[in-house]
């Protein structure tokens, strides 16, 4: 690089050659490289090729004045910071000075030029330029040094980061696996304080793993406090501990849990992982399967019993009717036979009447008919229906069944009873779709449930102002199902009775066969591929839940 090339550059711009000559003479004493331009366009062309420390710019020029040149330089990021000194022969005018400063000027010099003032101002800007370039050079050198150091550090950091990434990747993978597990996982130390837990555990507790860390299990999971003795046992024995199908109340709701406690040691510290599985639905399904198998078994027994009983029962009913006809009706054959035997038919009738024989015959006949009804129920229970299926409005079927049940209740109730009227609260979802079903069978189920509810309410004492009441809700449910909930405010049932309520021949009432709800269960589950369940609170009431598919399900 030549000496001139290394010198700071000053651009002088004036359309009058004599003025350029004077400026070159004055500035020639400085160690600078002077470049001149006789127009604004020429000045802009030089700016593209050179890096200037200062521009001395005449304001009054033809074609493009100094203000315009400064304005263009100001709006170009590469030239916006070049200091500009305006030169003008115009008398000092504050407005024009403000315009100059606004377009990017840093100073003004007025003609005729004062050599001393011009050199003083130029020297200041040259000194600033040297400081600036010196700092830039220093920064560049330091930057190169730092780049070398940084490169070395970056290489080392990259190696460390790669190792950390692999560790984090493994940790994230393990965390994702743990959080994907549907089980609740809680790790604890030997004092029973939480060290970590997965997402499922956080959902159950309502507390984040960070907040729970270091807290006792009994505080975060008060419903698992009974596990602490098992945790201690697992850690001391260094062997897993298992508790199956344990009932737990979580926030007022009964759930069935399986507990597994696995001990571990880490850096000479002992601890354990508690795994909790919610098996409530599984237990319910097991009970449904057992119930279904029991129902199928009882269905077979019922069918066999019904067939065995049907023929002799028919003979009893038929023959008792024949006996009545032969001893009570004055038929020629009866009277002539009585004469042959030496007795009066009327006298015989009087004797039988006074001895209550006719009443006994009536009782036998009624008992036979009742037994026939039981046999018919048993056959219906065991028989898989192939009835006609049609698309029905479930609301219409329910309301018809309610009307029949209430009418039957009114007819059979004591008219003087204050409990004759029953309040019906309906909560039906709008625009429910039609469902494929056997209308008569569904009405039979609903009627049976309503009658059971009425009987339950009639045996309960109500306080003043309370009334017997059914709450009936019909709505859509997940998995394309229609859900019907029928609740009464009767005396309710114990859990033991609730579990047996659908079993054939099970009843708590007098003069009942115990087949009504069993048949209802078969109609819903077997004939319609739906679900029928019951929940009850003693002294509060009972709710039957029926779920029926909205689309026909093939057998």
DSSP string covering 386-455, please?
Answer: ----EEE-HHHHHHHHHHHHHHHHHHHS-TT-TT---EEEEEE-TTPPPEEE-HHHHHHHHHHHHHHHHH
178-281: CATH, from 3.40.50.720, 3.30.450.20, 3.40.50.1220, 1.10.260.40: 3.30.450.20
Query: Considering the entire predicted model, what is its pTM?
Result: 0.41
pLDDT value of residue 244: 86
Quote the CA–CA distance of 480 and 155 in Å, as a whole number.
Answer: 60
Quote the CA–CA distance of 465 and 251 in Å, as a whole number.
Answer: 33
pLDDT value of residue 31: 85
Quote the CA–CA distance of 385 and 140 in Å, as a whole number.
Answer: 94
Quote the CA–CA distance of 200 and 183 in Å, as a whole number.
Answer: 7
Domain ranges of the chain: 9-138, 178-281, 387-409+424-554
Instruction: State both tokens at 18.
Output: 């004599």
Q: Is the dihedral of CA 13, 18, 21, 25 positive or negative?
A: negative
Domain 9-138 sits in CATH 3.40.50.2300:
yes
H/E run at residue 474: strand 469-477
H/E run at residue 155: helix 115-180
Q: What count of other Cβ atoms lies within 10 Å of the Cβ of residue 123? A: 11
- The topology (CATH level 3) of 387-409+424-554 is Heat Shock Protein 90 (3.30.565)
- Helices 94-103 & 66-74 angle (0-180, nearest 10): 30
pLDDT value of residue 416: 43
pLDDT value of residue 533: 92
pLDDT value of residue 531: 92
**Burial (CB count within 10 angstroms: exposed 0-12, middle 13-18, buried 19+), residue 499:** middle
Chunked mean pLDDT (size 10), the chain, 555 residues: 71 88 86 88 88 86 86 84 81 68 75 82 84 79 84 85 82 76 87 89 88 89 87 89 87 86 84 89 70 57 65 80 81 82 84 85 81 65 62 91 80 51 90 90 89 86 82 93 93 85 76 74 87 89 93 71
């Amino acid at each position: 690089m030549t000496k001139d090339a290394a010198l700071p550059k000053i651009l002088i711009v004036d359309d009058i050659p004599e003025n350029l000559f004077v400026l070159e003479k004055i500035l020639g004493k400085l160690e600078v490289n002077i470049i001149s331009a006789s127009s604004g366009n020429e000045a802009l062309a030089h700016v593209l090729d050179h890096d200037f420390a200062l521009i001395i710019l005449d304001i009054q020029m033809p074609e493009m004045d100094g203000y315009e040149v400064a304005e263009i330089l100001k709006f170009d990021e590469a030239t916006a910071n070049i200091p500009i000194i305006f030169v003008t022969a115009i008398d000092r005018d504050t407005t024009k000075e403000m315009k100059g400063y606004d377009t990017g000027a840093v100073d003004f010099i007025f003609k005729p030029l004062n050599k001393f003032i011009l050199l003083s101002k130029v020297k200041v800007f040259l000194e600033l330029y040297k400081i600036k370039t010196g700092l830039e050079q220093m920064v560049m050198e330091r930057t190169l040094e730092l780049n070398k150091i940084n490169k070395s550090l970056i290489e080392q950091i990259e190696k460390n980061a790669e190792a950390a990434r692999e560790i984090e990747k493994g940790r994230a993978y393990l965390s994702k696996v743990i959080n994907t597990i549907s089980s609740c996982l809680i790790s604890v130390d030997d004092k029973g304080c939480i060290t970590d837990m997965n997402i499922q555990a956080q959902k159950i507790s309502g507390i984040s793993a960070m907040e729970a860390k270091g807290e006792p299990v009994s505080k975060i999971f008060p419903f698992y406090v009974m596990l602490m003795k098992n945790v201690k046992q697992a850690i001391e024995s260094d062997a897993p501990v298992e508790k199956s199908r344990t009932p737990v109340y979580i926030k007022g709701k009964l759930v069935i849990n399986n507990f597994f406690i696995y001990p571990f040691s880490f850096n000479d510290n002992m601890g354990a992982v508690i795994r909790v599985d919610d098996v409530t639905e599984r237990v319910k399904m097991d009970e449904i399967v057992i119930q279904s198998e029991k129902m199928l078994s009882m269905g077979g027994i019922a069918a066999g019993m019904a067939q065995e009983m049907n023929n002799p029962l028919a003979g009893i009913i038929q023959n008792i009717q024949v006996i009545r006809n032969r001893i009570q009706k004055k038929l020629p054959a009866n009277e002539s036979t009585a004469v042959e035997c030496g007795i009066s038919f009327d006298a015989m009738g009087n004797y039988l009447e006074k001895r209550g024989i006719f009443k006994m015959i009536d009782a036998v006949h009624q008992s036979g008919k009742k037994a026939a009804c039981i046999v018919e129920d048993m056959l219906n229970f065991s028989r898989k229906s192939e009835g006609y299926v049609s698309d029905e409005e479930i609301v219409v079927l329910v309301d018809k069944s309610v009307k029949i049940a209430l009418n039957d209740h009114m007819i059979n109730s004591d008219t003087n009873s204050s409990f004759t009227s029953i309040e019906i609260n309906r909560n039906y979802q709008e625009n429910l779709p039609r469902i494929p079903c056997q209308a008569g069978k569904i009405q039979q189920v609903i009627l049976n449930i309503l009658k059971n509810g009425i009987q339950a309410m009639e045996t309960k004492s109500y306080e003043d102002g309370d009334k017997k009441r059914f709450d009936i809700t019909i709505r859509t449910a997940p998995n394309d199902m229609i859900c019907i909930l029928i609740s009464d405010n009767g005396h309710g049932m114990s859990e033991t009775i609730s579990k047996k309520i659908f079993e054939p021949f099970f009843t708590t009432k007098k003069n009942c066969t115990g087949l009504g709800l069993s048949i209802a269960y078969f109609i819903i589950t077997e004939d319609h591929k739906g679900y029928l369940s019951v929940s009850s609170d003693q002294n509060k009431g009972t709710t039957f839940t029926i779920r029926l598919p909205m689309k026909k399900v093939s057998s």
